[in-house]
Amino acid sequence: MMSGPAGGHTAIVTGANHGIGAATATALGRSGCAVLCTFFRGEDPVDPGVPQAYRDRRAADADAVVSEIRAGGGRALAVEADLADPAVPAALFDAAEEQLGPVDILVNNATGWVADTFAPAGADRLGRSLRRRRRAEGQLVCCHGAGGLPGAREARRHPGGLARRNPRAGGSPATG
């Protein structure tokens, strides 16, 4: 097992198949953290304003990220997860804890972003309701599920982030 600043920790990184989520998962893995990389394959319609490479990355799984972490000696797994399903956050925590260890880092990076117009509408181009953001609700359920993480109660009392206030992550409530 790798050791480093995050050695002995387990993280869930949502939206880890590309972009900031992939970079965060890779950095955590490089630091010795075991990482559960979630992804949701978005299939975007062809749009001249959105590069094909970006659409391809959104449609991919997180296997490349997991492979990179493992190649560096880390532990990681990929799980496809639709955060619009209220049962998914608990399942993610269960999978991470069963296969990687107790979760003490949550990076809520996933979004339900779809390129759209600013014109008022009841649904986006894919027919999803704009009145209720199910994927965003899933993110909130993920955060709520993280309430049992070490330092989570302290983080709620002191804005600035769980990792910054978590003594196991190198910070303290007094010094950050």
Q: Is the pTM of this model over 0.75?
A: no
Rounded Cα gap, residues 4 and 34, in angstroms: 11
Rounded Cα gap, residues 148 and 150, in angstroms: 6
Listed in sequence order, the residues at least 6 apart from 13 whose beta carbon sits closer than 8 Å to its beta carbon are 21, 24, 25, 28, 35, 36, 37, 38, 107, 109
Q: What radius of gyration, in Å, describes the C-alpha atoms of the chain?
A: 17
Reported as a single tens digit per residue, the pLDDT across 159-171 is 444 443 344 444 4
What's the pLDDT at 172? 40
- Domain coordinates in residue numbering, the chain: 10-113+132-168
Residues in the chain: 176
3 state DSSP class of 122: coil
Rounded Cα gap, residues 23 and 31, in angstroms: 12
Q: Which of the pair, 127 or 114, is modelled with greater confidence? A: 127
Indicate the fold that domain 10-113+132-168 takes in CATH: Rossmann fold (3.40.50)
What mean pLDDT do residues 87-98 have?
A: 94
Rounded Cα gap, residues 128 and 134, in angstroms: 9
Reported as a single tens digit per residue, the pLDDT across 18-62 is 889 999 999 999 999 999 999 988 667 777 777 888 778 878 889
Q: In what order do the strands lie in the sheet with 105-107?
A: 76-80, 34-39, 10-13, 105-107
